[in-house]
């Protein structure tokens, strides 16, 4: 009788440790918005029966460029500055600029979303296109809109690179954004 109690206690502790590791891993993936490896993100947005394809290039330090389906640059962001172009990136116009306080608030909101996320699940060591990845999923509400989101991350087991990310948005206008990411270590983003 005592042996079975000890075995049950061991498995309960082991399951709790695994669950804690899963929650830590999933929340970390959610917060990894400034991944240290420059990347290309091929994006498909599905909404109301339509699909829109685009791409984004991103480097650490909140630098990125959006491309349309024809690979034409459409917008540029550097830190809290957002630019658009009407001539395929030959010239850029500043549209908006966020203060350091606004950027800090976004980081605070993202942390709160991660801290309050629910329905956390993990599948370790699964296959994604021949790569071994960890599939991490969690649900949360966007701050400040309150839009419900379920995000799923396919993260490389060895490098932590997010090969694929899917965000399923609920609410009044449900949509799904799928990002297929490719590392581009030599990528640089132009200055406006």
pLDDT along the chain (192 residues), means of 10: 43 42 95 86 94 93 90 93 95 95 92 95 97 97 94 95 96 94 93 88
In angstroms, rounded to a whole number, what is the distance separating the alpha carbons of residues 24 and 16? 12
Contact by Cβ (8 Å): 139, 123: no
How many CA atoms lie less than 13 Å away from 150 in the CB half-sphere?
10
Cα torsion 84, 86, 87, 88: sign: positive
Q: What is the pTM of this model?
A: 0.84
Domain 2-183: assigned CATH number: 2.50.20
Residue 170: partners with Cβ closer than 8 Å, 6 or more residues away: 147, 148, 149, 150
pLDDT in tens, 137-161: 999 999 999 999 999 999 999 999 9
Kindly report the average pLDDT of the chain as a whole number.
88
In the chain, what are the domain boundaries?
A: 2-183
Residue 78, pLDDT score? 94
Beta bridge partners of 4: none
139's enclosing H/E stretch is strand 131-141
pLDDT in tens, 32-54: 877 788 999 999 999 999 999 99
In angstroms, rounded to a whole number, what is the distance separating the alpha carbons of residues 13 and 21? 12
**Torsion from C-alpha of 34, 37, 38, 43, nearest 10 degrees:** -70
Residue 154, pLDDT score? 98
């Amino acid at each position: 009788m005592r042996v079975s109690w000890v075995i049950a206690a061991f498995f309960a502790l082991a399951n709790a440790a695994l669950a804690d590791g899963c929650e830590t891993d999933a929340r970390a993936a959610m917060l990894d918005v400034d991944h240290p490896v420059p990347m290309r993100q091929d994006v498909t947005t599905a909404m109301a029966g339509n699909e829109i394809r685009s791409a984004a290039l991103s480097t650490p330090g909140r630098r990125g460029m959006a491309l349309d389906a024809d690979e034409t640059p459409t917008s540029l962001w550097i830190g809290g500055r957002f630019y658009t172009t009407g001539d395929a990136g030959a010239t850029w116009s500043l549209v908006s600029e966020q203060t350091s306080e606004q950027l800090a608030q976004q980081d605070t909101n993202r942390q709160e979303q991660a801290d309050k996320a629910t329905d956390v699940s993990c599948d370790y060591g699964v296959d994604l296109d021949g790569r071994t990845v960890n599939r991490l999923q969690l649900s949360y509400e966007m701050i400040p809109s309150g839009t419900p989101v379920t995000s799923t991350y396919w993260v490389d087991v060895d490098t932590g690179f997010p090969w694929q990310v899917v965000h399923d948005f609920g609410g009044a206008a449900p949509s799904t954004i799928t990002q297929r990411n490719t590392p581009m270590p030599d990528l640089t983003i132009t200055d406006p």
